[in-house]
Amino acid sequence: MSFRARVLAVVRRIPPGRVATYGDVAELAGRTRAARAVGNIMRDCRDPGTPCHRVVAAGGALGGYGGNLHLKRELLRAEGLEVGIARIRGFRDVRWATKSTKTDQPRRTPRSQRGKKQNL
């Protein structure tokens, strides 16, 4: 299966009222560092059955959507999301991912604390 087909399959799984970042989609499609490629695939996708409006930029910024941010904003609002001028409000609460993402990873212990006993 091509990368494009995997990307579109991932995007079709994003439920209404939830969003994923370009990087989330790239990771779930098997190419962690291909967020820009995902953006290009979203830009060129003309399939009405693929909810491209649910793919957003890092941090909940709306991203491109072929230059029609007004339409993207309204589609997301119709699904119940709170969307400002350029960003999704409460992004962490509506972010969707079926695999762990960087923000879900436990924090690493700082080097200065490694190997030291924890006072409990």
Q: Among 52, 81, 83, 88, which one carries the catalytic annotation?
A: 52
| Nearest one of 66, 71, 48, 57 to 26, comparing CA atoms | 57
What are the C-alpha distances in Å from 14 to residues 6, 75, 97, 119? 13, 14, 8, 43
The identity of residue 96, as a single letter, is W
Cβ atoms 59, 52 nearer than 8 A:
no
Catalytic, 45? Answer no
How far is Cα 102 from Cα 86, in angstroms, rounded to an integer? 23
Q: Would you please indicate which residues are annotated as catalytic (active-site) residues?
A: 52
